[in-house]
């Protein structure tokens, strides 16, 4: 299925595989996107912004995880400059559904969450609980060397 997400002033076209999307139609239509699908959306957003020249990186890896307390997306990049790194941190924070308040020991949810507007009119939320950006490759891949 195809849709559009609005990030940093861009209307970014998104393609979501059916295996990531569950649509409920009992009385009203509602869709749920798995954390793997949310990771796919993050990857498509990063690649789109790279193609239009908004950010720069040499290599990108996305890892997603589900666990009992929520879910997370970890984004690993190699070869980004300082300006692009800051923008990518902002993008990753847009995809978070809130933040942890350690003083009160609670998770505080944002009022506005990112959504993909699908071609059929459904709005699909694509926020995860925790997101991280790392400026190195993940541990499970062999070293990536940037050729200049």
- Residue pLDDT, tens place only, 106-117: 999 988 888 899
User: What confidence score (pLDDT) does residue 147 get?
Assistant: 56
- Which positions ≥6 away from 69 have C-beta within 8 Å? 129
DSSP string, 60-115: EEEEEEEETTEEEEEEEEES--HHHHHHHHHHHHHTBSEEEETTTTEEEEPS---E
Domain parsing of the chain, residue ranges: 2-134
User: What confidence score (pLDDT) does residue 50 get?
Assistant: 95
Dist. CA 65–CA 130, nearest whole Å: 10
Q: Which pTM value belongs to this model?
A: 0.88
Task: Check whether 129 has a pLDDT greater than 70.
Answer: yes
Residue 141 DSSP one-character state: S
Q: What is the pLDDT of residues 132-141, one digit of tens each?
A: 999 988 888 8
- Give the pLDDT band (50/70/90) at residue 57: very high
Burial label for 88, CB within 10 Å (0-12, 13-18, 19+), is buried
């Amino acid at each position: 299925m195809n849709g559009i997400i609005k990030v940093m002033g861009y209307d970014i076209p998104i393609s979501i595989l059916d295996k990531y999307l569950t649509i409920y139609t009992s009385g009203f239509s509602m869709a749920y996107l798995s954390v793997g699908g949310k990771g796919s959306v993050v990857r498509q957003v990063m690649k789109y912004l790279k193609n239009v020249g908004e950010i720069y990186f040499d290599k990108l890896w996305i890892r997603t995880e589900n666990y009992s307390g929520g879910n997370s997306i970890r984004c690993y990049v190699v070869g980004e400059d300082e300006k692009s790194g800051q923008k990518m941190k902002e993008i990753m924070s847009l995809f978070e559904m809130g933040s942890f308040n350690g003083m009160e020991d609670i998770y505080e949810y944002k009022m506005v969450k990112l959504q993909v507007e699908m071609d059929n009119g459904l709005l699909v939320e694509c926020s995860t609980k925790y997101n991280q950006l790392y400026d190195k490759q993940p541990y499970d891949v062999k070293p990536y060397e940037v050729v200049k």
